[in-house]
Amino acid sequence: MNPLTILTEDEIAFKEAIREFAENEIRPLVTKMDHDAQMDKNLVGKLFEMGLMGIETPEKWGGAGSTFTMACLAVEELGRVDGSVSVMVDVQNTLVTNALLKWASDKQKDKYLPLMAQKWVGAYCLSESSSGSDAFALKLRAEDKGDHYLLNGHKLWITNANEASLYLVFANIAPSKGYKGITGFLVEREFAGFKVGKKEDKLGIRASSTCELIFENCKVPKENVVGEVGKGYKIAIETLNEGRIGIGAQMLGIAEGAYEATLNYIKSREQFGKSIAQFQGVQFQIAEMRTQLEAIRLMVYNAARLKDAKKDFLREAAMAKLFASRAAEKICSIGVDLFGGNGFTKEYPIEKYYRDAKIGQIYEGTSNMQLQTIAKMELG
C-alpha cells in the first residue's frame, strides 16, 4: 500500500523493515502455527533479535528507546501477516514493559527490563474465571508472611502464558478492602508454587498461547511487589488503557492483511468472462473495506500520538479499540464473501483473518466496556 504521509520518514522505514521481516520470517510459518496452535520457538528468538520485544525500553536496559507509536506500528505490521505473533509483541510492549517502565522500582527495572528486551517473554495476569469485565472481582489471594507473600488461586485467559518467563500478577492482599487490596506482583516462572495450567483451544489467534495459571502457596519476595501495596488497581487500569491502543493496532493489521488478500483475489478470479473486480457490486464493497481500513488507521494512530505526547488519551483509546475491532471483523467478513466458496476453506488466507479478528471485541475490555468508558467521559 502507498506510504502514509501522516508518518515520519523514520516511521515509514521502520514499518517497511517489519513488513519485510514478517513476510520472510513469519508468513511461511502461519498455516502450521495456526493448525498446531503453537508458536514457533525459533520465531520468538527472532523477535528478540529484531528488537521487537523492547521497543520503548531505554537503551541502557538493552531496548530500542523508541516510542509507543513505533510499538503500535510493529504490532500493526505483524498483525497484517499473523495476529498471534502480533499479540505476543503487543502484550510484551504495551502492557508488561509499559507497566514496568511506569511503576517498577529502580531495582526491578535494572533486573527485569534487560531480560525483557533480550530474552524473556512477559505475561499480563489480571483475568480470572469470575473476573472478566468485572476486573476487580478477582479471587487470587496474597498473604503477608513477613519477608514474602504467599499467592493462592488461579488466573485464566492469560496471553503468552506458555512462552513467558515473567508474569505481572494482580492479587488481593485484603479482600475486605475490595479493589483497594489489589496489589501487583512480579512472578518468575521458576518460583515455587507456580505453574502454567490448561491451554485453551481457541477459535482464532491459535498460535498465541492462552492458559490458566495456578498458584499453590507461591512464594513471592516482597521486593517483587510492583508499585505501592494496595494500588494494583491503578496499575491495572492505566496499563490497560494503553494496551487498548495496541489491540486497535493489531486489528488494523489484521484488517489490512484481509483487505490486501481480497484485493489480489478479486483481480485474479474470473466469472462470466472477466475478473470479478470489474463488477460494480464488488467494486463498491472494496471501496467500503478501504474506507473502513483508513478510518481504523487514523483513530489508532491518533490515540498513539496522544499517548506519546503525554496528553489525555483515555477516550480516544476506547474509541479506537471499539471501532477497530468492529470494523476489522466487518472488513474480514466482506473478504470472505468476495472469496466466495474459497473463502470458507483453509486453503485461502481470508478465513484465518476472519477468525483472528473476532477476539478484538472481547479481550482487553469488551466492546460494551469501551462504550461505557466513552459514555462516562461524554456525560461526566
Q: Known catalytic residues?
A: 364
325 burial type by CB count under 10 A (0-12 exposed, 13-18 middle, 19+ buried): buried
Beta strands in 189-340 (DSSP E): 194-199, 210-221, 225-226, 270-271, 274-275
CA quadruple 110, 96, 123, 19: dihedral sign: negative
Question: How far apart, in whole angstroms, are the C-alpha atoms of residue 72 and residue 14?
Answer: 11
Beta strands in the chain (DSSP E): 121-125, 141-144, 148-159, 164-172, 182-188, 194-199, 210-221, 225-226, 270-271, 274-275
Question: How far apart, in whole angstroms, are the C-alpha atoms of residue 161 and residue 198?
Answer: 10
Q: Cα 78–295–8 angle (5° rounding)?
A: 60
Q: Report in angstroms the alpha-carbon separations of 373 from 313, 365, 367, 376.
A: 12, 10, 10, 5
Let me know: does 325 contact 367? Beta carbons within 8 Å.
yes
* Range 290-308 burial, b when 16+ CB lie within 10 A, else e: eebbeebbebbbbbbbbbb
Let me know: does 242 contact 98? Beta carbons within 8 Å.
yes
Q: Report in angstroms the alpha-carbon separations of 189 from 114, 115, 143, 184, 308.
A: 17, 13, 19, 16, 32
Question: How far apart, in whole angstroms, are the C-alpha atoms of residue 104 and residue 166?
Answer: 13
Report which of 90, 88, 83, 55 is spatially closest to residue 243, judged by C-alpha positions: 90
